[in-house]
């Protein structure tokens, strides 16, 4: 089997993944700033890392997955000036900042669980790590890599680069270009250079979120929390750090500088960045007004939506492209994903109910066996090639074709050895459920309920009460389900 390869933003190459302390893997992903409802773009990024977490676990690693909650320090405009995003919302809504944080953290959890994302192992908050952030600021001050200015502490990029730092390497920025770009836009103010960034900011009298520090009342800079929390839970150097592409610069660049400065070594082996969910080619974002909330998608209640889409349809849609490509939202693409998902879900229901018949003597068909083995291999090759879920799904459709043939009888069980059948069954189920996190969406007790209806249906059919038969068919159809009259049995499936 191919080894797992991951595209590392730092080297700009796909690299074979080697865990620092196998079977343990340390994974850190920048979490949300909880000042507003999570939109579908956010869900795409976290789904990509959910796949990474699930796949690493599936292939035997024990992953400590840390995903933070930013509940202080992220300022409007992502820079060092301006209001705190959470503080601003608290003022607007006349609530405590922690009420804002709690409301949107709850929403975030609920949204991610709707889309079947696994919770991380640790979910630390920035406000829970103020002490660590003050300590790291002190550490950087002692090393001459930071300076105090008017009650705020700034990271000194020139000093860092003089001491062997490589600010700009991750994002491929050249320092001189950055300086010319930023000089006009952002006044130097109390900083020595416009590129320097805040580790700790002095709180103005009206600033609500504030903590005492050796430099007076203040609050931490946005980039510092991730350095402190990843260091605390994953150590000086850990395996994988992830986030959306828009966080590469300055957020992740600053994280590297802080960690190298404070702890003397590069913090991360593999940097992974996910591409954006776009709408008509534009990044989905709250500020552009082109974002959907998950509830709007599920209810279909949004001017850009032609119909409602279920959570698993949306998850399936996202996984049909690899995480490093942009993914453009459109009703047509989602409708196609809905069709594909229903076919996949029918296959899942069917293969789960299929058993290899006892006592048959198989005469394995070589061509069928080879096709199944190649598709199984293809599922793993896709995942191992930098989590190319699009390739994996294409191979799942080949497996689905075989499942459908077994279901309708056009492929006989004795054409497959029991071993091949079991491999087909377990690969289809585990890749879908465990690795891709795709499940069949059915209300609880649905199977036994429909069983009852189908037996009524059968009775009406035998009694030739066709008006009743049609009524039951119509009821199923209104729920997107199709009754299937087969040679020796009656079944239902999702209408594809
Ligand atoms: P935020 O709460 O704005 O800090 O964003 C949380 C995460 O969602 C970050 O990793 C962002 O990179 C990511 N994100 C924001 N917008 C999009 C988008 N349109 N597509 C994919 N990821 C996004
Ligand atoms: Zn971060």
pLDDT of residue 184: 47
Q: What ligand is nearest to the CA atom of residue 254?
A: 2
End-to-end CA distance of the chain: 34
Q: At which residue do the structure tokens 């534009």 appear?
A: 282
**What tens digit of pLDDT does each residue of 139-197 get?**
999 999 999 999 999 999 999 999 999 999 999 988 887 777 664 445 568 999 999 99
Residues with CB under 6 A from ligand 1: 30, 32-33, 41-42, 44-45, 243-244, 246-247, 276-277, 283-285
From the list 337, 333, 338, the residue with the least C-alpha distance to 279 is 333
pLDDT of residue 488: 87
pLDDT of residue 472: 95
Rounded Cα distance, 277 and 387, in Å: 17
pLDDT of residue 431: 98
Measure 124 CA to ligand 2 centroid, in angstroms.
12
List the chain pLDDT tens, one digit each, 496 residues.
Answer: 789 999 999 999 999 999 999 999 999 999 999 999 999 999 999 999 999 999 999 999 999 999 999 999 888 888 888 888 999 999 999 999 999 999 999 999 999 999 999 999 999 999 999 999 999 999 999 999 999 999 999 999 999 999 999 999 999 988 887 777 664 445 568 999 999 999 999 999 988 899 999 999 999 999 999 999 999 999 999 999 999 999 999 999 999 999 999 999 999 999 999 999 999 889 998 778 888 899 999 999 998 899 999 999 999 999 999 999 999 999 999 999 999 999 999 999 999 999 999 999 999 999 999 999 999 999 999 999 999 999 999 999 999 999 999 999 999 999 999 999 999 999 999 999 999 999 999 888 898 899 999 999 999 999 999 999 999 999 999 999 999 999 889 999 999 9
Domains, the chain: 5-274 (3.40.50.620), 279-435 (1.10.730.10), 446-494 (no CATH)
**Three-state secondary-structure class, residue 73:** coil
Q: What ligand is nearest to the CA atom of residue 318?
A: 1
Q: Supply the residue whose CA is at minimum distance from atom 1 of ligand 1.
A: 32
Measure 242 CA to ligand 1 centroid, in angstroms.
12
Q: Supply the residue whose CA is at minimum distance from atom 16 of ligand 1.
A: 41
Q: What ligand is nearest to the CA atom of residue 275?
A: 1
CB 329 within 8 A of CB 284: yes
Measure 59 CA to ligand 2 centroid, in angstroms.
27
Q: Supply the residue whose CA is at minimum distance from atom 8 of ligand 1.
A: 42
Measure 428 CA to ligand 1 centroid, in angstroms.
31
Ligand 1 pocket test, pick from 111, 244, 318 with the greatest ligand atom count within 8 Å of Cβ, gives 244
Give Dmax over CA atoms of the chain in angstroms.
Answer: 90
CB 9 within 8 A of CB 272: yes
Ligand 1: nearest atom to the Cα of 243: 10
Ligand 1 pocket test, pick from 30, 32, 45 with the greatest ligand atom count within 8 Å of Cβ, gives 45
Strand partners, 238: 268
Q: Model-level pTM greater than 0.75?
A: yes
Q: What ligand is nearest to the CA atom of residue 285?
A: 1
CB 71 within 8 A of CB 101: yes
Measure 249 CA to ligand 2 centroid, in angstroms.
11
Buried b (16+ CB within 10 A) or exposed e, 426-436: ebbeebbbebb
Q: At which residue do the structure tokens 């507003």 appear?
A: 36
- Work out the burial of residue 300: count CB atoms within 10 Å of its CB; fewer than 13 is exposed, 13-18 middle, 19 or more buried: exposed
Measure 251 CA to ligand 2 centroid, in angstroms.
6
Q: Supply the residue whose CA is at minimum distance from atom 12 of ligand 1.
A: 244
Measure 244 CA to ligand 1 centroid, in angstroms.
6
Assigned token pair, 424: 């087909």
Q: Supply the residue whose CA is at minimum distance from atom 6 of ligand 1.
A: 32
Measure 112 CA to ligand 1 centroid, in angstroms.
14
Q: What ligand is nearest to the CA atom of residue 258?
A: 2
Measure 341 CA to ligand 1 centroid, in angstroms.
25
Rounded Cα distance, 465 and 463, in Å: 5
Ligand 1: nearest atom to the Cα of 33: 2
């Amino acid at each position: 089997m191919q080894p797992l390869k991951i595209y590392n933003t730092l080297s700009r190459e796909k690299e074979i993944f080697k865990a620092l302390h196998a079977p343990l893997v340390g994974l850190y992903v920048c979490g949300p700033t909880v000042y507003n409802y999570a939109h579908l773009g956010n869900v795409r990024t976290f789904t990509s890392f959910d796949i990474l977490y699930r796949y690493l676990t599936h292939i035997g690693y024990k992953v400590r997955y840390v995903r933070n909650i930013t509940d202080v320090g992220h300022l409007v405009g992502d820079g060092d000036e301006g209001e705190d995003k959470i503080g601003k919302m608290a003022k607007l809504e006349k609530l405590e900042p922690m009420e804002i944080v709690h409301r949107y953290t709850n929403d975030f959890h609920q949204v991610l669980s709707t889309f079947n994302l696994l919770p991380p192992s640790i979910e630390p908050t920035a406000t829970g790590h103020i002490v660590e952030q003050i300590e790291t600021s002190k550490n950087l001050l002692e090393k001459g890599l930071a300076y105090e200015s008017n009650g705020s502490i700034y990271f000194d990029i020139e000093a860092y680069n003089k001491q062997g730092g490589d600010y700009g390497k991750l994002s491929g920025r050249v320092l001189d270009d950055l300086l010319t770009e930023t000089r006009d836009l952002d006044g130097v103010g109390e900083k020595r250079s416009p590129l320097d960034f805040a580790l700790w900011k002095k709180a103005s009298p009206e600033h609500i979120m504030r903590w005492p520090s050796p430099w007076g009342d203040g609050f931490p800079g946005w980039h510092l929390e991730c350095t402190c929390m990843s260091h605390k839970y994953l150590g000086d150097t850990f395996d994988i750090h992830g986030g959306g592409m828009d966080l590469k610069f300055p957020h992740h660049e600053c994280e590297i500088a802080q960690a190298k400065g404070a702890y003397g070594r590069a913090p991360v082996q593999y940097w992974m960045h996910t591409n954006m969910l776009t709408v008509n080619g534009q990044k989905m974002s709250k500020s552009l007004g082109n974002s959907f909330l998950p509830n709007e998608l599920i209810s279909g209640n949004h001017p850009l939506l032609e119909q409602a889409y279920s959570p698993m349809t949306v998850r399936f849609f996202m996984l049909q492209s690899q995480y490093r490509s942009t993914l453009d939202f459109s009703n047509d693409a989602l409708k196609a994903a809905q069709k594909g998902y229903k076919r996949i879900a029918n296959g899942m229901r069917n293969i789960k109910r299929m058993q290899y018949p006892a006592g048959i003597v198989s005469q394995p068909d070589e061509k069928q066996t080879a096709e199944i083995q190649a598709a199984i291999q293809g599922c793993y090759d896709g995942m191992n090639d930098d989590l190319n879920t699009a390739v994996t799904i294409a191979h799942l459709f080949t497996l689905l074709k075989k499942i459908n043939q077994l279901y309708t009888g056009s492929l006989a069980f004795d054409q497959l050895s029991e071993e091949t059948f079991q491999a087909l069954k377990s690969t289809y189920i585990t890749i879908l459920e465990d690795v891709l996190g795709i499940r069949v969406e059915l209300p609880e007790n649905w199977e036994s309920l429909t069983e009852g209806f189908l037996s009524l249906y059968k009775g009406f059919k035998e009694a030739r009460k066709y008006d009743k038969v049609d009524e039951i068919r119509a009821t199923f159809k209104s729920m997107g389900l199709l009754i299937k009259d087969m040679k020796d049995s009656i079944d239902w499936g999702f209408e594809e």
